[in-house]
Amino acid sequence: MTMKIESPAFAGGGRIPAGFTCSGADISPALKWTAPPEGTVELVLIMDDPDAPMGTWTHWILYGLDPATRELPEGVSKGTTAPEIGAKQGITSFGRPGYGGPCPPPGPDHRYFFKLHALDTATNLPAGASLREVEHAIRGHIIAEAQLMGTFSR
């Protein structure tokens, strides 16, 4: 089953506004999505940039999200937990938990992917997990996915 994810801040394939990047306030954009399939136990969101010079750069790892959730507000907390949405956050490529917006070196556009995964099991990970731990926990348990891509350059 396919879910759909979108943001009121930018169109799919469009430019991410500066306020959601290191050139601005560096807060997370609001996101909303369609219902996951029946049997979804947990939602996981991973945002990354495959165009980073040193390989894919992870900007956000959000897990433990209730499957009844259909949206995230703008400006989710930046700690290992996001109490306003009842979720946990992992350590990004920036070396800290929470959202870290686009911050590419000067040059051409980079692509930023917000990937939402519906799982048939709980990750059961503590707050502050690594990308490797989250990827290991979701492997073989993804029953639906949605993806939103935005671009940004400086």
Can you tell me the mean pLDDT for 69-97?
A: 97
Is the pLDDT at 141 greater than 70? The verdict is: yes
On whether residue 29 sits in a domain, the answer given is yes
Give residue 88's identity as a one-letter amino acid code: K
Mean per-residue pLDDT over the chain, rounded:
97
**Residue 40: exposed, middle, or buried by beta-carbon count in 10 A (0-12, 13-18, 19+)?**
buried
On whether residue 112 sits in a domain, the answer given is no
**Residue 13: exposed, middle, or buried by beta-carbon count in 10 A (0-12, 13-18, 19+)?**
exposed
CATH number at residue 127: 3.90.280.10
On whether residue 84 sits in a domain, the answer given is yes
DSSP string, 46-58: EEEETT-TTS-EE
On whether residue 111 sits in a domain, the answer given is no
By residue count, the chain amounts to: 154
Sorting pLDDT into bands at 50, 70 and 90, what band is 81? very high
Structural domain count of the chain:
1
On whether residue 147 sits in a domain, the answer given is yes
Give the global pTM: 0.97
Can you tell me the mean pLDDT for 4-13?
A: 98
Sorting pLDDT into bands at 50, 70 and 90, what band is 2? confident
Can you tell me the mean pLDDT for 84-89?
A: 97
Can you tell me the mean pLDDT for 117-137?
A: 98
Q: What is the pLDDT of residues 19-78, one digit of tens each?
A: 999 999 999 999 999 999 999 999 999 999 999 999 999 999 999 999 999 999 999 999
On whether residue 47 sits in a domain, the answer given is yes
- 38 is in which domain, residue-wise? 5-58+65-73+80-106+119-152
On whether residue 123 sits in a domain, the answer given is yes
Q: Tokens 């920036």 sit at which residue?
A: 94
Sorting pLDDT into bands at 50, 70 and 90, what band is 1? low
On whether residue 114 sits in a domain, the answer given is no
